[in-house]
Structure 1
Amino acid sequence: MALNAAAVRIGITGELYAGPVGTAAPTTSVSALNAAFVGMGYVSEDGVTETYDDTVEDIVAWQNATVVRSNTTESKATLSMTLIETKGAVLKLYHKGSTVTAVGAGEWKIDVKAPTPDERAFVLDVIDGTKHLRFSIPRGEVQERGEIVYANGEPVGYEVTIVCYPDANNVVLTKFSDDANWGYS
């Protein structure tokens, strides 16, 4: 077994982008994004967490009380992060169905409404030096929102969990990378 330290990746930087459902998805890890994708800015130092939550039911045989088969009855892919850049695009993502409007010179407001469905297309870039990892999510939605804390010495953060919905081929997200190590066993 050959160990390869050069194949260890670190998520040093990157950004989450959101656009309307149906926006042309990227085709490589470095291709230019469609102009409809808007960057959500800085993410907290905790980064982004990719999670797959599966519900599995075991089938137990009567004869020996042993699991003879398992069946996945539910599966969900999510990305979770805390956005720390306060700007209109982030506020509209966090406050699903709400809009930011101008109320005068240099003044803005958001009427926070009860959340409504707000599906979007998402792209997440994760960069480690010259290596790029790109997630393309054609249909996703903020499913969970954390607390907004206003505290001295801490950035105001908008914690969101985005659920990835499957397409017609049951694909919930596509990952692209220009990392040659992906091609090796």
Structure 2
Amino acid sequence: MQNNVRQDRITGSRRFSNYFWTFFLFIGGFSFLLAGLSSYLNVNLLPFANPTELIFIPQGIVMIFYGTLSLSLSIYIVLTLIWDIGSGYNEYNKIENLVKIVRKGFPGKNREILLTYPVNNIRAIGIQISEGLNPKRIIYLCLKDERKIPLTPVEQPNTISNLEDEAADLAKFLDLKLENL
């Protein structure tokens, strides 16, 4: 039974980088907001600076705008962390001849995303590797109708050798060919 079902866990938004950016954006946004309010109220709300010397129009307004924008973005990232957007698993089941891709989305009636494909509709396992400023290293499920379903999570690029090993292992498990995209 164990040799016929394989399940790969997918990490969603709960990654170190999201925690880091949430903290950074919250502290920066809160500081900018206090600086803008200090320039408007002529009361120093920041203990480490004196933003009362700023002229409210245009500097104070810009500080309030950037602070509000940064705080809003940090709240959005916190919500994606709480909801764990993008997490889930890929299940490859030889007994049922199915591949299931399960992910968590945003709250609502379609929160659980479930994609199911019969193994006989899968043409191959594909690998796409592109280098440069925005490198891509992705494993795809290539269907017979020419659709390509990504199987790897969105994160820092995996090493090429690890990606090739994962893809080869999956192709061998599903008895499919491996192709370069």
With structure 1 as the length reference, what TM-score do the two structures score? 0.20
- Rg (Cα) greater in structure: 2
Q: Which structure is richer in relative contact order (CA contacts within 8 A, separation 6 or more)?
A: 1
With structure 2 as the length reference, what TM-score do the two structures score? 0.21
